[in-house]
Chains A and B, each alone.
Chain A
Amino acid sequence: AQSVTQLGSHVSVSEGALVLLRCNYSSSVPPYLFWYVQYPNQGLQLLLKYTTGATLVKGINGFEAEFKKSETSFHLTKPSAHMSDAAEYFCAVSGEGYNKLIFGAGTRLAVHP
């Protein structure tokens, strides 16, 4: 069965520091992987996604993620955090029939001056 584990429900970084949000997945089929961001009381918006091909995926707002099949990971990174990056981040994997997504529990990122 498909599943997603996000390590750390809360992450706090200083402005300008590296952001690293961890995501591990389980999938019985070749996965499609996604990162979404949610600002308070809003819907989610796509940051980036991995389908096939290049394992390093670049997204919006300077974020990127690397698909590592051997580690079943899809960690999200950004070299330098901005205050505007404070939000909740969700990792997701495609369902077994590729007709739905399975979401992780989310990681809330706080950025302090």
Chain B
Amino acid sequence: DGGITQSPKYLFRKEGQNVTLSCEQNLNHDAMYWYRQDPGQGLRLIYYSQIVNDFQKGDIAEGYSVSREKKESFPLTVTSAQKNPTAFYLCASTERGGTDTQYFGPGTRLTVL
């Protein structure tokens, strides 16, 4: 089955620690996206990548980093610089770009203890 996988589903982190969220797709899509979801705020774009080895900041990139070394993988690192990292994180991909349908993974819920 083609789709997007995110792991882990739940993640707990102590303050001051970096943590990496995994996102893998086997849809052969060019573009991938990371969103943060908080109650009542919808989805806010963190980073996106349209091709391998290239990525752009979204609206709330501070305190996050990404890499795109392989077409199918787009991991997100939440660094200790992120002031309020507790949230639901969603990864998505599209065949080419922003006018195509976005396919979403099941999400990772990050809680900072």
Asked whether A and B interact, the reply is yes
Size category of the A interface is 20 to 34
User: Is A46 a contact of B101 with CB atoms below 8 Å?
Assistant: yes
Complex CA gap A51/B101 in Å reads: 11
With A98-B98, A99-B98 known as contacts, the answer to whether A90 contacts B42 (CB < 8 A) is: yes
Complex CA gap A43/B50 in Å reads: 21
Size category of the B interface is 20 to 34
User: Is A94 a contact of B99 with CB atoms below 8 Å?
Assistant: yes
B-side contacts of A45, CB under 8 Å = 104
With A41-B109, A45-B104, A106-B42 known as contacts, the answer to whether A100 contacts B90 (CB < 8 A) is: no
B-side contacts of A7, CB under 8 Å = none
Q: Is B64 an interface residue (CB 8 A)?
A: no
Closest 3 CB pairs of A and B: A43-B104, A105-B42, A103-B43
Residues of B within 8 A of A (CB): 4, 31, 33, 35, 40-45, 48, 50, 56, 58, 90, 92, 97-99, 101-102, 104-107, 109
Residues of A within 8 A of B (CB): 9, 32, 34, 36, 41-46, 49, 51, 90, 94-95, 97-101, 103-106
